[in-house]
């Protein structure tokens, strides 16, 4: 079978992309020998970079011992070790950990855990999960329910229940006279209005990314947002779920994105950086107050064949060791500032790039046809796809998306592996500059 045929079978459609050959550090090479610098860490998951020897060796050692043992029959050391390691890094008391194979699965697990907690604590009327618009929480039917993206959700509406949504705090787009912190409170208060509109007794949880990822390109809420959200959830007995699939494990310069603020969630969802792409892995974490009643009621009605897989968990343990050994969380914080400064300099050269934001190495920006009026390019221009392609031609991988839901715009993120050096950031920025020059010519900007 030719590679093209294999590609067609695998993805249903053949993407016009080269076949990857190998990878190391922040680079990937295709079969023709062309080199790409990974300015998106794959799907913003390869946090420790490609080809990490320690992780590969740890996985090989585990495979030599045992690759699979069903969690119904056996505990395994890597899963126990990873749970302990995570508990020591998560907010105090969040020491009940449950492993799955990816982000969407983990979001589903969080939703189901919340629901079982409500039933176990005699609150069976609570089932609604309030989400934000725009947002992304995964691609399975359940994870799409609180996801704010009409294009992804509409077709499936007869089968999946669209959940109530409130606007994400897109404060950079607001032109009103309120201060940043007042705007943070204004967006947070929309949660309370929605809860009251839905009926507090029917609302189970609120799910959000502490720092918005795919849907909002590194959207950082004002400091006032988090305490008010926590206060509102507490007032109405609603669980707060932090989807840290993209922001977790050091990406934003702290272990969790939520660690930039003091208020704590009830359930944390992790994936991506947890195994850094070396194996499929996701997790949820919660406290005994949530998990205890569920266990007492007969146990969590959940479980996947590959949950707690020993090889995936061995990868996770080794990834956490590498994050510590290489000081990657501190590097993400430092290099993130360098990257933001460099992007700001680029936006002076290309004024159609604006609203640069982010924390650590989750950095994003908007693209406007008219930056003054924050007017986007027309949807038909598919500018985000062109930006990705123009960069790819030049050997740079970036992440770009059309915002769907709320005011539209094209945005992009630059989020290299957390091992990135100053010189590599220089290379990313130089290639991005060439890319934006070509983009400006093509779109008459």
The CB-of-379 to ligand PLP minimum distance in angstroms stands at 22
Could you count the other beta carbons within 10 Å of the beta carbon of residue 56? Answer: 13
Q: Whose Cβ is closer to ligand PLP: residue 239's or residue 245's?
A: 245
Out of 83, 86, 94, 214, name the contact with ligand PLP by CB under 6 A.
214
Q: Which residues contact 357 (CB under 8 A, 6 or more apart)?
A: 172, 217, 218, 219, 220, 340, 363, 364, 365
Its sign, for the CA torsion 150, 154, 159, 164, is positive
Give the footprint of ligand PLP on residues 241-280 (CB under 6 A): 243, 245-246, 271
Give the footprint of ligand PLP on residues 37-76 (CB under 6 A): 43
Report how far apart, in Å, the C-alpha atoms of 409 and of each of 60, 373, 412, 443 are. Answer: 44, 12, 10, 15
Q: What is the DSSP letter of 50?
A: B
Q: Whose Cβ is closer to ligand PLP: residue 149's or residue 427's?
A: 149
Q: Whose Cβ is closer to ligand PLP: residue 90's or residue 274's?
A: 274
Out of 91, 102, 148, 358, name the contact with ligand PLP by CB under 6 A.
102
The CB-of-252 to ligand PLP minimum distance in angstroms stands at 12
Tell me how far the alpha carbon of residue 370 is from its chain's centroid: 29
- The full length of the chain comes to 445
Report how far apart, in Å, the C-alpha atoms of 244 and of each of 70, 109, 136, 147 are. Answer: 27, 14, 11, 14
- The span of 30-38, 100-108, 114-122, 406-414 binding ligand PLP (CB under 6 A) equals 100-108
Q: Whose Cβ is closer to ligand PLP: residue 59's or residue 246's?
A: 246
Q: Please, are residues 275 and 319 in contact by the beta-carbon 8 Å criterion?
A: yes
Q: Whose Cβ is closer to ligand PLP: residue 102's or residue 253's?
A: 102
- The CA distance from 27 to 417, in Å, is 10
Binding of residue 145 to ligand PLP (CB under 6 A): no
Binding of residue 415 to ligand PLP (CB under 6 A): no
The CB-of-343 to ligand PLP minimum distance in angstroms stands at 21
Which CB contacts under 8 angstroms, 24+ apart, belong to 86-92? 86/270, 86/283, 86/285, 86/320, 87/285, 89/255, 89/320, 90/255, 90/256, 90/268, 90/285, 91/256, 91/258, 91/259, 91/264, 91/265, 91/268
Q: Whose Cβ is closer to ligand PLP: residue 136's or residue 206's?
A: 136
Q: Which residues contact 440 (CB under 8 A, 6 or more apart)?
A: 350, 352
- The span of 103-111, 148-156, 159-167, 315-323 binding ligand PLP (CB under 6 A) equals 103-111
Q: Please, are residues 377 and 367 in contact by the beta-carbon 8 Å criterion?
A: yes
Q: Whose Cβ is closer to ligand PLP: residue 49's or residue 138's?
A: 138
Binding of residue 221 to ligand PLP (CB under 6 A): no
- The CA distance from 264 to 1, in Å, is 51
Q: Whose Cβ is closer to ligand PLP: residue 139's or residue 193's?
A: 139
- The span of 97-105, 162-170, 190-198, 401-409 binding ligand PLP (CB under 6 A) equals 97-105
Out of 103, 148, 336, 360, name the contact with ligand PLP by CB under 6 A.
103
The CB-of-137 to ligand PLP minimum distance in angstroms stands at 5
Q: List the beta bridge partners of residue 380.
A: none
Out of 83, 86, 107, 232, name the contact with ligand PLP by CB under 6 A.
107
- The span of 61-69, 96-104, 311-319, 326-334 binding ligand PLP (CB under 6 A) equals 96-104
- The CA distance from 86 to 303, in Å, is 20
Out of 89, 96, 126, 137, name the contact with ligand PLP by CB under 6 A.
137
Total of residues contacting ligand PLP (CB under 6 A)? 16
Out of 104, 153, 170, 347, name the contact with ligand PLP by CB under 6 A.
104
Tell me how far the alpha carbon of residue 329 is from its chain's centroid: 16
Q: Is 35 helix (H, G, I), strand (E, B) or coil?
A: strand
The CB-of-106 to ligand PLP minimum distance in angstroms stands at 7
Give the footprint of ligand PLP on residues 383-402 (CB under 6 A): none
Binding of residue 213 to ligand PLP (CB under 6 A): yes
Q: Whose Cβ is closer to ligand PLP: residue 137's or residue 194's?
A: 137
The CB-of-146 to ligand PLP minimum distance in angstroms stands at 10
The CB-of-209 to ligand PLP minimum distance in angstroms stands at 5
In this structure, what is the dihedral angle of CA atoms 94, 97, 103, 105, given to the nearest 10 degrees? Answer: -130
Residue in the block written with tokens 């130089």? 430
Q: Please, are residues 257 and 425 in contact by the beta-carbon 8 Å criterion?
A: no
The CB-of-407 to ligand PLP minimum distance in angstroms stands at 21
> Which residues contact ligand PLP (rule: CB under 6 A)?
43, 102-104, 107, 136-139, 209, 213-214, 243, 245-246, 271
């Amino acid at each position: 079978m030719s590679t093209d045929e294999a590609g067609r079978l695998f993805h249903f459609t053949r993407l016009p992309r080269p076949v990857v050959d190998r990878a190391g550090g922040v680079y990937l090479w295709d079969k023709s020998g062309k080199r790409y610098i990974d300015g998106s860490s794959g799907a913003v998951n390869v946090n420790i970079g490609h080809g990490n020897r320690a992780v590969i060796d740890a996985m090989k050692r585990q495979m030599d011992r045992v690759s699979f043992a069903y969690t119904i029959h056996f505990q395994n050391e890597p899963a126990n070790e990873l749970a302990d390691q995570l508990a020591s890094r998560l907010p105090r008391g969040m020491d009940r950990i449950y492993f799955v194979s990816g982000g969407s699965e983990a979001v589903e697990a969080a939703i189901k855990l919340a629901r079982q907690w409500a039933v176990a604590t005699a609150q069976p009327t609570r089932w609604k999960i309030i989400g934000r618009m725009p947002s992304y929480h995964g691609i399975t039917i359940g994870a799409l329910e609180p996801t704010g993206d009409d294009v992804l959700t509409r077709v499936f509406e007869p089968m999946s229940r669209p959940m109530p949504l409130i606007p994400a705090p897109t404060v950079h787009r607001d032109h009103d006279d309120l201060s940043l912190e007042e705007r943070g409170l204004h967006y947070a208060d929309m949660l309370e209005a929605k809860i009251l509109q839905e009926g507090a007794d029917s609302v189970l949880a609120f799910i959000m990314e502490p720092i918005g990822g795919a849907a909002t390109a590194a959207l950082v809420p004002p400091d006032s947002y988090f305490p008010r959200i926590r206060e509102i959830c507490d007032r109405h007995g609603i669980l707060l779920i932090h989807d840290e699939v993209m922001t977790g494990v050091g990406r934003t310069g702290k272990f969790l994105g939520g660690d930039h603020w003091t208020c704590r969630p009830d359930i944390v969802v992790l994936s991506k950086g947890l195994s850094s792409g070396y194996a499929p892995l996701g997790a949820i974490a919660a406290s005994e107050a949530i998990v205890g009643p569920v266990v007492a009621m007969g146990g969590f009605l959940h479980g996947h064949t590959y949950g707690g897989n020993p090889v995936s968990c061995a990868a996770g343990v080794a990834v956490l060791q590498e994050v510590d050994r290489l000081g990657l969380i501190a590097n993400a914080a430092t290099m993130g500032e360098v990257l933001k400064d460099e992007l700001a300099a680029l936006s002076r050269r290309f004024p159609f790039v604006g609203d640069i934001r982010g924390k650590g190495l989750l950095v994003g920006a908007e693209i406007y046809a008219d930056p003054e009026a924050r007017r986007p390019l027309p949807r038909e221009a598919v500018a985000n796809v062109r930006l990705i392609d123009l960069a790819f031609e030049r050997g740079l991988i970036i992440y770009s998306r059309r915002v769907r839901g709320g005011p539209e715009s094209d945005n992009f993120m630059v989020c290299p592996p957390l091992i990135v050096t100053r010189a590599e950031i220089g290379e990313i920025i130089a290639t991005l500059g060439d890319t934006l020059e070509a983009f400006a010519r093509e779109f008459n900007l």
